Amino acid sequence: MIGRVMGNRYELIKQLGGGGMAIVYMGRDTLLNRLVTVKVLRPEFTSDRDFVQRFRGEAQAVARLSDPNIVSIYDVGQEDNIHYLVMEYVEGDNLKNLIRKLGVIPVDRAIEIAGQISEALQHAHENNIVHRDIKPQNILITKGGRAKLTDFGIAREATTATLTQTDTIVGSVHYISPEQARGGTADARSDIYSLGIVLYEMATGVLPFTGETPVGVAMKHIQESPTPPANINPAIAPELQRVITRAMAKNPADRYQSAQDMAADLLQPATVGGGELSLEADEFATRVIPTVHSVPVIRPHTERKKNKGKKRPPIFWLGLVLLISVIAAAGAFWYYVNVPEIDMPNVAGKTEAEAREILRDQGIENILVSHNLHPTVAQGLVVSQDPKPNTKIKITRTVTLSVSMGQDLREVPEVIGQTLYNARIRISVNELNVTEPVQEIYSDNYPAGVVVDQDPRPGEKLAVGAGVLLSVSKGPQPVDQRVPSLVGLTIEDAGGELEKLNLHLDSNTGQATSMEYFAGQIISQDPPAGTEVREGTTVQVTLSNGPGPQRQVARVQALTPDDGGEHSLKIVVRDAKGTNDFHTETYPPGKKVVKEVPYYGKAVIQVYIDQALAGEQSFE
């Protein structure tokens, strides 16, 4: 598919990835000279009307949406049973890869991303479009940092007709809402639930529900409550945790009733304060504070005796509580402001054990570690840290480390013997890419267009997105042939001679007047006779259109041997008409034979006695 131009306009440049329904390519709009994303429906689904309708439904759904946080669709088309969508090209990466890279998204950044997607969903919901597949893989992050929602492949218009389909569960199981898991109705609140899980994953680095099977995960969405996110990442403020918890409520009635409401809560100062700037304040609210002792009030003995047995008025106890609160707050504030500050050390590239030791040597005890796959950093090494190196922090600050679990590996499939098109699909399904350009080699064992070899070999493991080098057959190695002489032959005879050598006769023939060759005979050829060419070469010829040579006569004499026996005599003429036996007869010994032999154009006349050449003469 690489290099193909769809709809006489969209040139496919390289493959970007692939999902369950489609393969995604970077393309170039040759008309407007801009990059685009072209999504091509997988060939195994083109005969499935449901898939085709769902695929084209994405274009119809998104075409009427216009929001800076939604990837725009430019065009939709079909060519040679290939269905494709043309979309805005977003230079950046998807949110899932960003989470894999960072482990935990800084809280303020996670809130910003969730807020932008909330705005995108609000716009879609206002246009009666329910996405139904909100997940980090469908959220693109541009180089400028904007979040864009894409892949409305299973979106549905929120109408009665489309909300009664309960026989199948559509969506990604780790982000699916409880009502979708039950096969029930999905509405705008289902998208809000899924966005809540995405926010949970960004802020904690982990999914709220995991399991060995999709059904097991779906059941957890229905039955279980997730670990509170602040228990995993103490940097999450209580206000942000309440937003996540409300978005992920099991009962849709308990969730936000609109994405706009969720966005409004995300932008509240207390929620945003869960980011880097207020992390220390959050620690003040949750860390263990030494006991603050109240100051005793000493009164004279007589005073105590005088008041003995009297009941204290309520105002006394209220004042006492206020006094103790003020003293406790003052003590806590004194403790907080006097916590030592240090320069945050750089532990990126260290092992987890080394990083912990370095941090503890600095007095940092609150260390949160998340383990994530990483395409380049070796297993066990720190990928990133929060706070950043060389920033001033208090030693009570919680430090978040993302530690690499190594590469996310995929098995290289067996594609030798497959067509290049099918090989690309099998490789992309395993989340790998074909290294471009594909190598083309001659092969006697595989027809043209079939994969002959691959590197790495089948069964080896590669990181997600890595390339597989393919060698594709160009067919058997052609050999050189010597062009035969075709002059004087008819078209039919010339074609037969060329076919023996795997050469071809050009169907476009020239015409010329010739006194040497009859009409319909070849008078010249290109390449000339004797030229060495590759098999498959085409030879052009020019035909005579007459009048041809005049008839001439040669006098031929022959004498049979005088040895007492009979002898056969044959006269052969080779001229413009071809080769023919002019005379064949048996004669007695010593017989002199004289014949008038006609010929046309250049000729060679031969005399054979008893099948042996006895004489030969050329004539012009």
Catalytic one of 67, 108, 133, 282: 133
Q: Where are the alpha helices (DSSP H) in 459-540?
A: 491-500
3-state helix, strand, coil in the chain (%, to 5): 30, 30, 40
Q: What is the DSSP track for 388-450?
A: PTT-EEETTS-EEEEEE----EEEPP--TTSBHHHHHHHHHHTT-EE-SSPEEE--SSS-TTB
List the structure tokens of 236.
Answer: 């999450």
CA torsion sign, 95 to 100 to 106 to 107?
A: positive
List the structure tokens of 480.
Answer: 């050189």
Return d(Cα 355, Cα 365) in angstroms, integer.
12
Return d(Cα 208, Cα 235) in angstroms, integer.
17
Using an 8 Å Cβ cutoff, are 409 and 362 in contact? no
DSSP secondary structure code for residue 290 in this structure:
P
Q: For tokens 């003040």, what's the residue?
A: 284
CA torsion sign, 268 to 274 to 275 to 276?
A: positive
- 297 burial (CB, 10 Å; 0-12 / 13-18 / 19+) is exposed
Q: For tokens 């690499």, what's the residue?
A: 404
- List CB contacts of 297: < 8 A, sequence separation 6 or more: none
User: Which residue, 118, 63, 51, is CA-closest to 87?
Assistant: 63
Using an 8 Å Cβ cutoff, are 568 and 611 in contact? yes
Q: For tokens 């289902």, what's the residue?
A: 190
Residue 462 phi/psi, 5-degree rounding, is -130, 155
Cβ-based neighbour number of residue 464 at 10 Å:
17
Q: Strand 367-372 to strand 399-404: parallel, antiparallel, or no bridges (unpaired)? A: parallel
User: Which residue, 60, 84, 71, is CA-closest to 5?
Assistant: 84
Identity (one letter) of the amino acid at 22?
A: A
Return d(Cα 42, Cα 570) in angstroms, integer.
74
Element (H, E) at 202: helix 188-204
Using an 8 Å Cβ cutoff, are 189 and 255 in contact? yes
Q: Strand 156-157 to strand 129-130: parallel, antiparallel, or no bridges (unpaired)? A: antiparallel
List the structure tokens of 409.
Answer: 């590996």
List the structure tokens of 534.
Answer: 């590759």
Return d(Cα 351, Cα 222) in angstroms, integer.
39
Is 133 catalytic? The answer is: yes
Q: At what angle do helices 107-126 and 188-204 cross, to 10 degrees?
A: 170
Q: What is the DSSP track for 126-185?
A: HTTEE-----GGGEEEETTS-EEE---TT-EE-STTTTT--SS--S-GGG--HHHHTT--
List the structure tokens of 472.
Answer: 């594709």
Catalytic residues: 133
